[in-house]
Chains A and B, each alone.
Chain A
């Protein structure tokens, strides 16, 4: 790959973008070029938002996803909107992470979760061909790959697992579960085709509805993986403003616990969200999809030569 003319890579990228757009156009979706600067930040314990001074003493946030704007438009009656563009996340830098990346996000009125999973798999298959789809629930994944029953496992047993796999027994249950998911489960997902992991714990519902599965309340949320890399995150969307406000406040509490600053609630969003029609939505990390389609093993192999410095050890030595 290093011997190839950079020109060819950019030409392929251009075709890639055209094919993505064609997928949405064929289905009659409406493209929205969402604003990157927003007055309010999304409230998530583990997503850090980049802030910039846009006017003297006035700061704005760079969007981490177009979710809030697209949902407001859906509530206004815009038909099945989609966004294809860059989003920004502070502190995310690694083999599969970059602070700025290409995202495709779209919403489908009256789609249920399973329909959204199917359409997302179709979209990804445009770029990574011959992909079968396997659907597995979060709890099933812990059972299958770790022999753990999340509904009965004790904190002591979790700590033992943490130490066994090179983590720390000082961590709380939630951290250990995230650690086990990323170290011991994710690498096994999407080995043959695509794997959709569904029905996350209810406290990880974010902006998704919840439902009951085997007597347990779970989030109507899915993530699609290929070769252990997360490519998509989707929900059957929640429109209940009161519940959403509750969740945002809980996330702010988590942020404070992690030593992070809490963010102000987006009151405009909360005022209009009750008018959101029933729908499902998904966001796809297109740089990662492209990475897999180009058979590269990291984002840095593909990003423009101009951006290589970000992943250069001497540049990031202070991180």
Chain B
């Protein structure tokens, strides 16, 4: 559930019913700010009403990059929107053509871009692997077709497609497709 507190959108994480011995019932709520990610705790009298936040989510396809942002197209309505670079933030290495992203709007403005949890991409730059003499998991740096910089196992070569976890920027496995 998304609610508005102090004119900002929050995601309700936990809603706990609390009632002291002989007294008023309260709801203690843990909320996450959908713009800056901060978690706060607020208590309300049971029965008090909170405004729902004007938050909407859309599935949008990445089209191309521009100087000040990236252009996406809504899968259903075909509307296009430019998401500014500051909202894209750390997700810039995960922008890839033919990929659908979750875009979160608050009062009509984009506040968050969520890439798919796992993405498959080609390794465009890495040093060749060295066989033998490895007693554990050894990693080497690599760059992917989207410009993402991640550590990959030494047996993965340039040109190979890999599966990546976008939450941690970690190698998961060789691509299955």
- Chain A positions within 8 Å of B, measured between CB atoms, are 44, 46, 91-95, 97, 165-168, 171, 174-175, 178-179, 181-183, 186, 197, 200, 204, 206, 223, 230, 233
Task: Known A171-B45, A179-B26; judge A223-B21 contact (CB<8 A).
Answer: yes
Compute the total of residue contacts between A and B using a CB distance below 8 Å: 65
Binds A, one of B36-44, B108-116, B135-143, B168-176: B36-44
Task: Known A182-B20, A183-B18, A230-B20; judge A92-B25 contact (CB<8 A).
Answer: yes
Given the complex of chains A and B, what is the CA–CA distance between A206 and B16 in angstroms? 27
Ranked nearest first, the 4 interchain pairs of A and B with the lowest CB-CB distance are A94-B17, A182-B20, A178-B23, A178-B24
Which one of B16, B22, B28, B41 lies within 8 Å of A46 (CB-CB)? B22
B residues within 8 A CB of A206?
22
A183 lies within 8 A of B23 (CB): no
**Can you list 9 A-B contacts with CB-CB less than 8 angstroms, sorted by A residue number?**
A46-B19, A92-B17, A178-B20, A178-B26, A182-B18, A183-B28, A204-B22, A206-B22, A233-B21
A93 lies within 8 A of B20 (CB): no
State which residues 113-148 of B face A: CB under 8 Å: none
Given the complex of chains A and B, what is the CA–CA distance between A168 and B48 in angstroms? 11
Besides the known contacts A178-B20, A178-B23, A178-B24, 11 further A-B residue pairs in the complex with CB atoms under 8 A apart: A44-B22, A46-B25, A92-B17, A166-B28, A171-B45, A178-B26, A179-B24, A181-B23, A182-B20, A186-B20, A204-B22
Which one of A166, A179, A204 lies within 8 Å of B41 (CB-CB)? A166
Which residue of chain A lies nearest to B22 when distances are taken between CB atoms in the complex?
A204
Given the complex of chains A and B, what is the CA–CA distance between A92 and B28 in angstroms? 14
B129 to chain A, nearest CB (A): 45
A46 lies within 8 A of B17 (CB): no
A166 lies within 8 A of B22 (CB): no
Interface size class of B (residues with CB under 8 A): 10 to 19
Identify whether the interface residues of B are mostly helix, strand, loop, or mixed.
strand
B95 to chain A, nearest CB (A): 35
Which one of A91, A95, A200, A230 lies within 8 Å of B25 (CB-CB)? A91
Which residue of chain A lies nearest to B17 when distances are taken between CB atoms in the complex?
A94
Given the complex of chains A and B, what is the CA–CA distance between A48 and B25 in angstroms? 11
Q: B1-40 interface mask toward A, CB cutoff 8 Å, 1 = contact, 0 = none?
A: 0000000000000001111111111101000000000001
Given the complex of chains A and B, what is the CA–CA distance between A181 and B22 in angstroms? 11
A95 lies within 8 A of B22 (CB): no
B residues within 8 A CB of A230?
20-21
Residue of B22, B23, B44 contacting most chain A CB atoms (<10 Å): B22
A residues within 8 A CB of B46?
91
Given the complex of chains A and B, what is the CA–CA distance between A206 and B21 in angstroms? 12
Given the complex of chains A and B, what is the CA–CA distance between A274 and B110 in angstroms? 69
A182 lies within 8 A of B22 (CB): no
A residues within 8 A CB of B41?
166
A residues within 8 A CB of B21?
181, 197, 223, 230, 233
Given the complex of chains A and B, what is the CA–CA distance between A168 and B55 in angstroms? 24
B17 lies within 8 A of A97 (CB): yes
Given the complex of chains A and B, what is the CA–CA distance between A92 and B20 in angstroms? 12
Given the complex of chains A and B, what is the CA–CA distance between A204 and B25 in angstroms? 15
A residues within 8 A CB of B20?
178, 181-182, 186, 230
B residues within 8 A CB of A182?
18-20, 23, 26
Given the complex of chains A and B, what is the CA–CA distance between A92 and B18 in angstroms? 9
State which residues 44-61 of B face A: CB under 8 Å: 44-46
Given the complex of chains A and B, what is the CA–CA distance between A165 and B18 in angstroms? 15
B43 lies within 8 A of A165 (CB): yes
A95 lies within 8 A of B26 (CB): no
Which residue of chain B lies nearest to A168 when distances are taken between CB atoms in the complex?
B44
B24 lies within 8 A of A166 (CB): no
A97 lies within 8 A of B19 (CB): yes
B19 lies within 8 A of A166 (CB): no
A266 to chain B, nearest CB (A): 19
A residues within 8 A CB of B22?
44, 46, 200, 204, 206, 233
Which residue of chain A lies nearest to B20 when distances are taken between CB atoms in the complex?
A182
Which residue of chain B lies nearest to A92 when distances are taken between CB atoms in the complex?
B19
A residues within 8 A CB of B26?
178-179, 182-183
Residue of A44, A165, A166, A167 contacting most chain B CB atoms (<10 Å): A166
Residue of A93, A95, A179 contacting most chain B CB atoms (<10 Å): A179
B residues within 8 A CB of A95?
16-17
A166 lies within 8 A of B25 (CB): no
B22 to chain A, nearest CB (A): 6
